[in-house]
Amino acid sequence: MIAKNKLFITLITSFVYLSSCTDNKSTSQYAIDADTITKIVLSADLAKHIISLPTHCLEVEYPNKLGQVLGSDADLKTPKALRPIFYGCFDWHSSVHGYWSIVELLQQFPNLDKDAAIRTLLNQHITPDNVAIEKAFFEDPNNLSFERTYGWAWLFKLQESLGNWDDTDAKRWRNDLQPLVDLLVDRYIEYLPKLVYPIRAGQHDNSAFGLSLSLDYARAVGNKKFENAIVEHGKRLFSNDINCDLAYEPSGYDFISPCLEEAYFMSKIMEGQEYDIWLNKFMAPIFDKGFVLKPAVVKDRTDGKLVHLDGLNYSRAACLYGISQKSELDLGHLRKIADDHLQFSLANLSAQDDYMGSHWLGTFALYALKHAQ
C-alpha cells in the first residue's frame, strides 16, 4: 500500500502545476502553502490521461446499467440497440458526460486526436438516425422521466460545449443532437412547477446540481424561457433555506454535497450583497478563516457506490471554487480547501483503476479543474 501511495503522489505531481509554487522539488500532493495563492492548471499530460477514460469506455457496452422500465417483451434490447450513441460507459448519463469531457478537452488540446480516431468515433455515433432512436426511447410512456434531471443536465452541458466550439464537425453534431435536447428542455420546464420540494440527495437526483448545469446551457444558448424557469423555481425552492449543516455530510456514497451544490447554484441566480446575505444565513461557518472540510476517503474502489466519494471530492472542489469567486466577501480560504479536495482524488484517478470508478470519475475531475482556472 505504501508503494502504491508513492506512485499516486508521483503521478499527481507530474500532472498538476501550481502557478505560484515556490518549491519545485517538492513531491508531496499536499505541497501547497496555505498563505500562498495557488492555481491548479490543466496540463496537456493530465488532459491526455483524462481523455483516455471516456474514449476507452464509450464503446464498452457491458457491464451496463440500463435503468429502463419495461413495457413488454419488445423492450428487451441490448444497450446499443436502445441507445446507439450513449450505450457505453456503464450507464446513459456517464456516456453523455464522457462525450462532454472529450469535446471540452479536444477544444483546448486538439493534438490529443492527431490521428482523428476520436473524431471518427463521434462522427459514427452522433448521426440523425441514432439521435432519432435515442429520442424515441425518451418518448416511450414508460420512460418519460428517465435520467431526470441528472442525465438531462449533462446532455445540456454537452450541447453547450459543442456550441462553443468553432468546428465544422462539432456544429453538425450539435444540430443532430438538438431535437433530443429540445425535448428534454421542454420536459424540464414542464416539470419544475410540479416539483413542490427540492431533492436534496447527495446523488443523481440532487435538484441544485441539475439546475446549475442546466442554467449554464440556457444562458450559453440564450434560451430565456428556460433560464427564467430555472431562476424562478430555483429561488422558490431554495431562497428561504437556512443553517445547512455540513456536519451531516457526507453520507456513505455521496458524490454531490447537498449544502455546497445549493450554495453554488444560488451564486448563479443571486447577485452581490443579496447572495452574501443569503449565504451567511445558509452556511455561516464557511466565512470563518479557520473553516475545515476534509476530503472524503474511499476504502474500496471496486465498490461502485463507495467510489462515489472520490467524485464528491471533485464536485466539492468545483463548488468551493465557484462560491469563492462569486462572493463579494473574502472567501479566498475556500480555494485552499478546494485545492486539497481536488488533489486528494486526482491521485486516485487511474485508467488502471476499477471500471466502477474509471468510467465516470474523469469527467468530475475535469469539471473541478475547469472551475479551478
CB 356 within 8 A of CB 302: yes
CA 366 to mean position of chain CA atoms: 8
Band of the pLDDT at 353, cuts 50, 70, 90? confident
Band of the pLDDT at 246, cuts 50, 70, 90? very high
Q: Given a cut of 90, is residue 269 above it in pLDDT?
A: yes
The residues with which 16 forms a beta bridge, in sequence order, are 42
CB 101 within 8 A of CB 77: no
The b/e string for 42-73 (b: 16+ C-beta within 10 A; e otherwise) is beeebbebbbebbbbbbeebeebebebeeeee
CATH at 353: 1.50.10
263 backbone dihedrals φ, ψ, rounded to 5°: -60, -40
Provide the number of structural domains found in the chain: 1
Band of the pLDDT at 175, cuts 50, 70, 90? very high
Task: Note the pLDDT of residue 328.
Answer: 85
The pLDDT tens digits of the residues spanning 318-351 come to 999 999 999 888 899 999 999 999 999 998 887 6
Task: Note the pLDDT of residue 327.
Answer: 83
Q: Which residue has the higher pLDDT, 8 or 362?
A: 362
Mean pLDDT computed over 96-103: 98
DSSP state of 292: -
What pTM was computed for the model?
Answer: 0.90
- DSSP letter for each residue of 303-330: STTTTHHHHHHHHHHHHHHHHHHH-SS-
Question: What is the domain extent for residue 37?
Answer: 2-372
Separation between Cα atoms, residue 332 and residue 336, nearest integer Å: 8
Task: Note the pLDDT of residue 352.
Answer: 65
Cell numbers placing 95: 456516456
Supply the angle between the helices 168-191 and 128-139 in degrees, to the nearest 10: 10
